[in-house]
Amino acid sequence: MFVGVGASRVRDLFKKAKENAPCLIFIDEIDAVGRQRGAGIGGGNDEREQTLNQLLTEMDGFEGNTGIIIIAATNRADVLDSALMRPGRFDRQVMVDNPDIKGRLEILEVHARDKKIAPEVSLDAIARRTPGFSGADLANLLNEAAILTARRRKEAVTIHEIDDAVDRVVAGMEGTPLTDGKSKRLIAYHEIGHAIVGTLVKDHDPVQKVTLIPRGQAQGLTWFTPSEDQGLVSRSQLMARIAGAMGGRAAEEEIFGSDEVTTGAGGDLQQVSEMARQMVTVYGMSDLGPIALGGGQGDQVFLGAGLTSRAEYSEEVASRIDDQVRQIAEHGHQLARKIIRENREVIDRLVDLLIEKETIDGEELKQIVSEYAEVPEKERFVPQI
Ligand code: ZN
Contact by Cβ (8 Å): 135, 157: no
Q: Do 124 and 158 contact (CB within 8 A), yes or no? A: no
pLDDT at 230: 58
**What is the pTM for the complete model shown?**
0.71
Q: Give distance in angstroms: CA of 336 to centre of ligand 1.
A: 12
Mean per-residue pLDDT, 12-29: 89
Summarised one tens digit per residue, pLDDT across range 198-246 is: 999 988 988 989 999 888 778 888 888 766 655 678 899 999 999 999 9
- State in Å: Cα 218 to ligand 1 middle: 8
pLDDT surpasses 80 at 92: yes
Between the CA of 195 and the centroid of ligand 1 the distance, in Å, is 10
Q: For the residues 271-299, what does the mean pLDDT come to?
A: 83
Whether 305 shows a pLDDT value over 90: the answer reads no
Q: What is the DSSP string of 101-141?
A: HHHHHHHHHHHHTTS-B-TT--HHHHHHH-TT--HHHHHHH
Q: How much is the pLDDT for 238?
A: 93
Tell me what the mean pLDDT of segment 52-58 comes to.
Answer: 86
Nearest residue to 304 (alpha-carbon basis) of 38, 32, 31: 38
Ordered domains of the chain (ranges, CATH): 5-85 (3.40.50.300), 101-171 (1.10.8.60), 181-370 (1.20.58.760)
Q: For position 2, what pLDDT does the model report?
A: 75
Cα 264 to middle of ligand 1, angstroms: 6
**Top-ranked range on mean pLDDT: pick from 152-156, 168-172, 220-224, 290-294:** 152-156
Compute the distance from residue 284 Cα to the ligand 1 centre, in Å.
27
Tell me what pLDDT residue 213 has: 86
Q: How far is the CA of 114 from the centre of ligand 1 (A)?
A: 39
Question: What count of Cα atoms within 13 Å lies in the side-chain half-sphere of residue 59?
Answer: 22
When mean pLDDT is compared across 79-93, 174-188, 210-224, 370-384, the lowest value belongs to 370-384
> Which pLDDT belongs to residue 298?
45
pLDDT in tens, 115-132: 999 999 999 988 888 888
What is the CA(265)–ligand 1 centre distance, in A? 5
Q: pLDDT higher for 78 or 327? A: 327
* One-letter identity of residue 275: M
- Is 372's pLDDT higher than 90? yes
Question: Is-catalytic flag, 191?
Answer: yes
The pLDDT tens digits for 336-359 are: 999 999 999 999 999 999 999 999
Q: What is the Cα–Cα distance from 105 to 86, expressed in whole angstroms?
A: 36
| Class of residue 124 by CB neighbours under 10 A (exposed 0-12, middle 13-18, buried 19+) | middle
Query: Ligand 1 centroid vs 224 CA: distance in angstroms?
Result: 13
Spacing, Cα 184 to ligand 1 middle (Å): 14
**From the candidates 58, 144, 161, 191, which is the catalytic residue?**
191
- Residue 330, pLDDT score: 97
Cα(376) to centroid(ligand 1), Å: 22
Percent residues over pLDDT 70 in the chain: 89
Percent of the chain with pLDDT over 90: 43
Report the candidate in 281, 197, 207, 206 with the shortest Cα–Cα distance to residue 239.
Answer: 197
Give dist(CA 274, CA 55) in Å, integer.
39
Beta strand segments in the chain, E: 23-27, 68-72, 207-211, 221-224, 359-361
Contact assessment for residue 30 and residue 80, using Cβ atoms and an 8 Å cutoff: yes
Mean pLDDT over all residues of the chain? 85
